[in-house]
Amino acid sequence: MVVLDFGAQYAQLIARRIRESRVYSLILPYDTPLEQILAHAPQGLVLSGGPASVYEPGAPLPDPRIMEAGIPTLGICYGMQLMAHLLPGGRTAAADQREYGRTRLFVDDGADLFAGLEPRLICWMSHGDSIVALPEGFVPLAHTDRNAVAAMADRRRRLYGLQFHPEVSHTPWGLEVLRNFLYQVCGCQPTWTMSSFIDRGTAAIREQVGGGRALCALSGGVDSATAAALVHRAIGDQLTCVFVDHGLLRQDEPEQVVRTFRDTFQVPLVHVDAADRFLARLRGVTDPERKRKVIGEEFVRVFEEEAARLGEIDFLVQGTLYPDVIESGTRTAARIKTHHNVGGLPERMRFRLVEPFRELFKDEVREVARQLGLPDRMIARHPFPGPGLAIRIVGEVTRERLDLLRAADAIILDELRAAGLALEIWQAFGVLLPVHTVGVMGDARTYGQVVVVRAVTSEDGMTADWARLPDEVLEAIASRVTREVPGVTRVVYDITSKPPATIEWE
């Protein structure tokens, strides 16, 4: 299944929902020529949403031949409006009233896409344009209180459109609509699994590396550890893992990483203590994008030095995920933040990259990890950014500020584990702000640091909601941090979801 990306963050979520249905999906830019699309032999095509209006000058348009290529196609939001814009008889225009958020949907035709669903549903809308004239051959399938065409179809040509977003969790039955399209309209079979991915990935790594040697940038997280396990499965002792302690890890983590990896895998592991050089490079740096680039470049320089010491090594293995790629900016999506292992890499480096998970989401990598036999404690580890605590310290990174945040962060995680909540939370951590606030300790005035507690729930990291932690857990965290971490006067809780915020603060 090919998803054409028109610049919406939801394009990746569409691909993920398709994969949840055990059908392989591939995301391509919206203007990919038809010949390149056909080269992937897709059983179906999905046109994603997007921020533009189809009738505006310069609006992103696909190869116009895709509508006549005989490929079953589903247009979602902007994708549906494109169909009306490009096909004879159809017309899209600005709506009198835009629809945003949870909306009542009335099903007028319960066949194919809506098979097995109730006639009245709740869906998620996010659009300011609407279909005002159906293209020739199309019939309406559903409507809302404000929109006469909330879904449409030309069954003869197997062209379908949805104004709502079936891929988001706010449309609770949306996955059923996608599966109806995949199975009933496109004739797909649910055969894509992480087991099949492992087999294909192993073969691809062997072909890419050949008789060469590779270094794996091991951070201790599930992504890089699973990448190491998969690459080792493919090329064996041609792989050497390098764990670079950049001094930006959580409390006791360097020792845990080395111990866990050496106990779990029979793979050569080089431990490099580079804390001093990273801190020296970060001195005086306050801009978050600059931090990421400095850290990404220094990582590569350390790996290059280790490669020179170890001998001829041509490949660098990274646990890069698809959210890393998309948030760092692509041709069809705006940059949210530069990930150190994507946009933070230097323009010139001697390695060729091996990134087996570049098109996978976190939950998919965790399933690969389970099938490769990684320990549960590693699989369940909360996501941790490559730049580490450097992007959880707002402002300049110093050894003293790192020590303070490490202590506070350890308390946050300890209290979540004590409350039995650690596995329910996608990610939880502390953030150190560059401000001071007045307080009272021991009947005396204090003027100390502010620590933010950030805890979110998510499925894949592309979107997230703030975790509703119990009051007693928040109270325990605040009490311990202000009591046990010298210099902290105040603890606050971040209740912002993603979007509009990101999970990390920088």
List, for residues 399-442, the tens digit of each pLDDT value: 999 999 999 999 999 999 999 999 889 999 999 999 999 987 77
Same-domain check for residues 415 and 452: yes
CATH code of the domain containing 481: 3.30.300.10
Task: Report the alpha-carbon distance of residue 464 to residue 227 in Å, rounded.
Answer: 25
List strands edge to edge, sheet with 45-47: 26-29, 2-5, 45-47, 73-76, 159-162, 151-154, 139-143, 91-107, 120-133
Q: Residue 172 is part of a domain; what is its CATH number?
A: 3.40.50.880
Whether 394 is in a domain gets the answer: no
Mean pLDDT, residues 347-370 taken together: 84
Query: Which residue range is the domain that position 133 belongs to?
Result: 2-185
Side-chain half-sphere of 346: how many Cα atoms within 13 Å?
14
**Residue 281 in this model has a pLDDT that exceeds 90:** yes
Query: Of residues 169 and 83, which shows the higher confidence score?
Result: 83
Just list the catalytic residues: 77, 165, 167
The whole-angstrom separation of Cα 64 and Cα 47 is: 12
Which of 92 and 46 is assigned the larger pLDDT?
Answer: 46
Give the rounded percent of residues in the chain with a pLDDT score beyond 70: 94
In terms of Cα–Cα distance, which of 140, 137, 102 is closest to 121?
102
Q: What is the pLDDT of residue 347?
A: 58
Picking from 21-25, 179-183, 312-316, which range would have the lowest pLDDT averaged per residue? 312-316
**Rounded Cα–Cα distance for residues 411 and 166 (Å):** 39
pLDDT at 5: 92
| CB-CB contact of 239 with 265 (8 Å) | no
User: What's the pLDDT at 335?
Assistant: 43
User: Where does 333-470 have alpha helices with state H?
Assistant: 362-372, 376-379, 399-418
Cα–Cα nearest to 50, from 62, 63, 60: 60
Q: For 114-133, what is each residue's pLDDT tens digit?
A: 999 999 998 888 888 889 89
Indicate if the pLDDT at residue 339 is higher than 70.
Answer: no
The model's pLDDT over 238-254, given as tens digits with 9 standing for 90+, comes to 998 889 899 999 998 88
- Strand 26-29 with 2-5, pairing: parallel
The pLDDT value given to residue 64: 87
CA distance 368 to 200: 12
- Residues 71, 74, 80, CA angle at the centre, nearest 5°? 125
Q: Which residue has the higher pLDDT, 311 or 326?
A: 311
Provide the pLDDT for residue 46.
97
Is the domain of 202 the same as that of 93? no
| Most distant CA pair in the chain, distance | 80
- Give the confidence band of 338 by pLDDT, cuts at 50, 70, 90: very low
Q: pTM value?
A: 0.69
Indicate the pLDDT class of residue 331, thresholds 50, 70 and 90: low
Residue 392 lies in a domain: no
Whether residue 199 sits in one domain with residue 90:
no
Structure-block tokens of residue 30 = 């919206």
What does the pLDDT read at residue 181? 97
Average pLDDT score, the chain: 88
**204 shares a domain with 144:** no
- Number of domain units in the chain: 3
What strands lie across the sheet with 214-218, from one edge to the other? 269-273, 239-245, 214-218, 315-317, 352-354
175 lies in the same domain as 199: no
| Statement to judge: residues 149 and 199 lie in one domain | no
438 and 362 part of one domain:
no
Q: Which of 185, 203, 230 is the last residue of a domain?
A: 185
Q: Is the predicted pLDDT of residue 350 greater than 80, yes or no?
A: no
3-state secondary structure of 21: coil
Which pLDDT band holds residue 349 (cuts at 50, 70, 90)? low
Which CATH number covers residue 347?
3.40.50.620
